[in-house]
Every structure is written in C-alpha cells, then in structure tokens.
C-alpha cells in the first residue's frame, strides 16, 4: 500500500512555493520521494525558500519566474527539463487575493487577480502537458478554494478566478485524460498563512479578529487549517494511488462546506 504513495523518481514543480501552502505541499512531496522544483517572482524569495527547504534536509531547485508571463514560463519549463528532468507533477499553487468591495474595485485589479489565479494555471499547464504526453502521463493539481464554491463580500475577482480554476481543472481532465494525465484540484479551507494573516490579526484590545471568530464558527474542526494539512491530500493526488481520480476537487476544509455554521 505504501508504494502507491511513493513519488520516488518523480519531478514535481510547485509554483510560488517559497513559503505557505506551496512550501508545505512541496515538503510533503519531497518526503514521499519527489525531486522538488519551485519558483517565485523575486530572487530573494527563491533564496529564502531554498534555505527553508535546506533546513528541512530537502534539496529543492528554485527559479525566478512570474507565472503570468508565458514566455518566461516556457523558458522555465525548458530549463527544468534540461537541468532536472521532465515535470511529472505540476502544482499550480501561486496565487494572490485582493479584498476590495466590487463597486470600489478597478478593472485593472480584477484582471490582475484573474491573471495570477486563473490565466497562469492555464499557461503553466499548457507548458508542461506536451512532455507529459510524450512521457506517457502526468499529474496536475490546481489549488482552488472555498471560493470555488462560495462567494463573500470583497472577493469577487478571487471567487471568479477560483471558480474558473475548478472548471479549468475539469476541462484539462476531460481533454487530456486519454493521455494518462490526471488533473485534480485541492480546495483548502481557511489556512493560517501570510495570505490570511490580515483576517487573523489580534485586535488592539487583545481580542480575536471578528473574522477569526467567524471562521471558527463556520468550521466543524473549530480551528484554522495549517499548511501541513494539505500535504497528505497533495501526495495522494500526485501518486499512483489516484490514477483513476480525474477532474475532482478535493476540499480540505475541516468540514466548512458541509456545515451551516455554529448555532447561536
Ligand atoms: P501566500 O502565502 O500568499 O503564498 C503565495 C505564493 O505565490 C507566494 O510565494 C507568492 O509570491 C507567489 N506568487 C504570487 N504571484 C505570483 C506570480 N505571478 N508568479 C510566481 N509566484 C507568485 O498564499 P498561500 O496562502 O500559501 O496560498 C497558496 C495558494 O493557495 C494560492 O493559490 C491561494 O489562493 C490558495 N488558497 C489559500 C488559502 C488560505 O487560506 N491561505 C485557502 C485556499 C486557497 P510573493 O510573496 O512574491 O507574492
Ligand atoms: C478570504 C480568504 C479566502 C481564503 C481561501 C478560502 O478573504 O475569504 O482569503 O479566500 O484564502 O481561499 O478557501
């Protein structure tokens, strides 16, 4: 059974994985035997990420690349293929959020979120699929969100992007399943990372942020997720244990989507 989850000999590219969820997913994949490749927009973050992996005893190959830049992504994939090997596992993790009420949001801001959270997974997937086909298969994991299913105030662009990413996931599965490529999504619940730090800030009087209390009341597990909670699900979707799972979104949310919320 253990062998089904073994990633030995596999090359995994996790985008935006210097810290946060991407870092935790890449670390879990390394523990399962994969060779890790990651990217970030800035050299200093790549260096920081490489040091953090090294501290865990993981040799990770870090590259500077903006995932919204198609030429840069194509160059990155060629470089990785030459220097490390064909990418067997792609995790489209890099993402941004802008919390702005829709009527105050500029079209420019809206487009930027769509660009990173939806267009980039299209660009990076498109760059890796041809070699996966030649090699006889591959795994693509798109990091979706609660907002692939739910809306809330201030996150119109993010919800539109993550809803779109769910459908891109199903479409890649539909179009390339015949080549033994499985494309699935992970929909994390509310996870304690820098992205959600503003929602968890302790108030000047020492009390919890109202959003923090709101999330605890909405989560049967009664806690925020840790980035490490995503490791096991990601290894499953990257491994042969999931070879007949395709186009699925695995929500890792402590039960949020099953729950109406804590009764008053
Ligand atoms: P994070 O802490 O903000 O990390 C995101 C990473 O993506 C950062 O390293 C960031 O680099 C990188 N990135 C952003 N734009 C990029 C670009 N154009 N090219 C390359 N890298 C880029 O976020 P996280 O919380 O770990 O989230 C990771 C993913 O999970 C995102 O897709 C997010 O939407 C999703 N997610 C998060 C949660 C949550 O509760 N935290 C829940 C559901 C889904 P910089 O630091 O340079 O910007
Ligand atoms: C927000 C949060 C969420 C989470 C996550 C939920 O402002 O509501 O940032 O969008 O990051 O994606 O799954």
**What are the strands, taking DSSP E only, across 133-198?**
138-143, 181-188
User: In the CATH scheme, what architecture does the domain 2-191+225-255 have?
Assistant: 3-Layer(aba) Sandwich (3.40)
Residue 250, classed as helix, strand or coil, is: strand
187 band by pLDDT with thresholds 50, 70 and 90: very high
Q: Return the domain boundaries, the chain.
A: 2-191+225-255
| Bridge partners for 92 per DSSP | 142
| Separation of CA 16 and ligand 1 centre (Å) | 6
Integer CA distances (angstroms), 1 to 5, 17, 59, 205, 243, in order: 8, 29, 26, 51, 14
| Separation of CA 187 and ligand 1 centre (Å) | 13
| Separation of CA 190 and ligand 2 centre (Å) | 6
Q: What is the pLDDT of residue 61?
A: 98
127 lines ligand 1 (CB under 6 A): no
- 0.85 exceeded by the pTM? yes
In this structure, which residue's CA is closest to atom 4 in ligand 2? 190
Per-residue pLDDT tens over the stretch 149-183: 999 999 999 999 999 999 999 999 999 999 999 99
Per-residue pLDDT tens over the stretch 49-71: 999 999 999 999 999 999 999 99
């Amino acid at each position: 059974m253990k062998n089904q989850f073994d990633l030995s000999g596999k090359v995994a590219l996790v985008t935006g994985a210097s810290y946060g969820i991407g870092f935790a997913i890449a670390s879990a994949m390394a523990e399962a035997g994969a060779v890790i490749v990651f990217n970030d927009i800035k050299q200093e973050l790549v260096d920081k990420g490489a040091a953090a992996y090294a501290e865990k005893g993981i040799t990770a190959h870090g590259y500077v690349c903006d995932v919204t830049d198609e030429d840069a992504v194509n160059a990155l994939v060629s470089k990785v293929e030459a220097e490390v090997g064909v990418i067997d596992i792609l995790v489209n993790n890099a993402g941004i959020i802008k919390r702005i009420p829709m009527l105050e949001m500029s079209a420019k801001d809206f487009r930027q979120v769509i660009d990173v959270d939806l267009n980039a997974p299209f660009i990076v997937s498109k760059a890796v699929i041809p070699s996966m086909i030649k090699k006889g298969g591959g795994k693509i994991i798109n990091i979706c969100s609660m907002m692939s299913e739910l809306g809330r105030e201030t996150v119109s662009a993010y919800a539109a992007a993550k809803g779109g990413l769910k459908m891109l996931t199903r479409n890649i599965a539909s179009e390339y399943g015949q080549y033994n490529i499985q494309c699935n999504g992970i929909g994390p619940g509310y996870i304690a990372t820098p992205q959600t730090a503003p929602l968890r800030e302790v108030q000047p009087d020492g009390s919890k942020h109202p959003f923090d209390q709101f999330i605890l009341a909405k989560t049967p597990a009664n806690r925020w997720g840790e980035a490490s909670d995503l490791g096991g699900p990601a290894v499953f979707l990257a491994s042969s244990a999931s070879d007949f799972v395709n186009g699925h979104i695995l929500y890792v949310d402590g039960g949020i989507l099953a729950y109406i919320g804590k009764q008053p």
